[in-house]
A and B are shown apart, each in its own frame.
Chain A
């Protein structure tokens, strides 16, 4: 088994089945009551082995729903993990690309939101981090 760090190696009997994604499923609400970013996330199943994420961001007057995006990569916390611990999802809005990188910790979902502008508006590409608690 190839490795690039000792932690990449596992015992032959340590191989797991597919990761259990139920750890992510549900509705997650920002710990910031007036978040300027994403207020709420809903993660649900979207066919066999697939998960989708629906986000609701802060708008001017009303919340702004995002189109659902598929979680394109799911991660455990070790090579012999059995449960999902983190994910990556990508959105292309035309004027900006957004990479959503989430992980679970201490009962919270920590989301790093990397926004890359593609519209020559002069805005800096930026990172925002937010914390979500499970509301259901």
Chain B
């Protein structure tokens, strides 16, 4: 395999060669406005995603009291489904919101955006860091 290093078989291209270095993954399936399939959620209601000059920019709106909480924008890192694929399959994005950090792990599946939120509190409030998964449909 041309001397490529690997840790698991799926790290190796089946064709024996990979794409050109620096290839931009296609991000079109993520771009748009997404809203939670659960209208009673106490978590994140809406996610807006844009392709801005090749960067995938994510903006999250949490359910607030009474107004939504705008988390602002962050840039995501995109992942394919395999080493030879040029199609974006998932992305990760991080928010540092002062009193907490949240890592988003999202993937497109069956027309939905499935988002896992890994939340870590930094404020000494005693709250447990927590994980939750939510489902979003296109607006």
Mark A residues whose CB is within 8 Å of B.
Answer: 1-8, 10, 15-16, 19, 36-38, 57-60, 64, 66, 73-82, 85-86, 88, 93-96, 98-99, 101, 103, 112, 114-117, 119-129
Known contacts: A124-B80, A126-B80. The answer to whether A5 contacts B130 by CB under 8 A is: no
Known contacts: A2-B98, A126-B89. The answer to whether A93 contacts B116 by CB under 8 A is: no
* Alpha-carbon distance A64/B65, docked complex (angstroms): 51
**What 1/0 mask marks residues of chain B from 111 to 131 whose CB sits below 8 Å from any chain A CB?**
000001011110101111111
Q: List 18 A-B contacts (CB under 8 A).
A: A7-B132, A8-B100, A57-B9, A66-B7, A75-B119, A75-B120, A76-B128, A77-B130, A78-B130, A79-B128, A80-B127, A96-B7, A121-B4, A121-B18, A122-B21, A123-B19, A124-B79, A125-B25
* Alpha-carbon distance A38/B25, docked complex (angstroms): 24
- B49 at interface (Cβ–Cβ under 8 A)? no
* Alpha-carbon distance A80/B130, docked complex (angstroms): 9
* Alpha-carbon distance A126/B4, docked complex (angstroms): 16
Known contacts: A36-B9, A58-B8. The answer to whether A76 contacts B23 by CB under 8 A is: no
How many B residues have CB within 8 A of the partner chain? 61
Mark B residues whose CB is within 8 Å of A.
Answer: 4-5, 7-11, 13, 17-21, 23, 25, 41-44, 62-65, 69, 71, 77-86, 89-90, 92, 97-100, 102-103, 105, 107, 116, 118-121, 123, 125-133
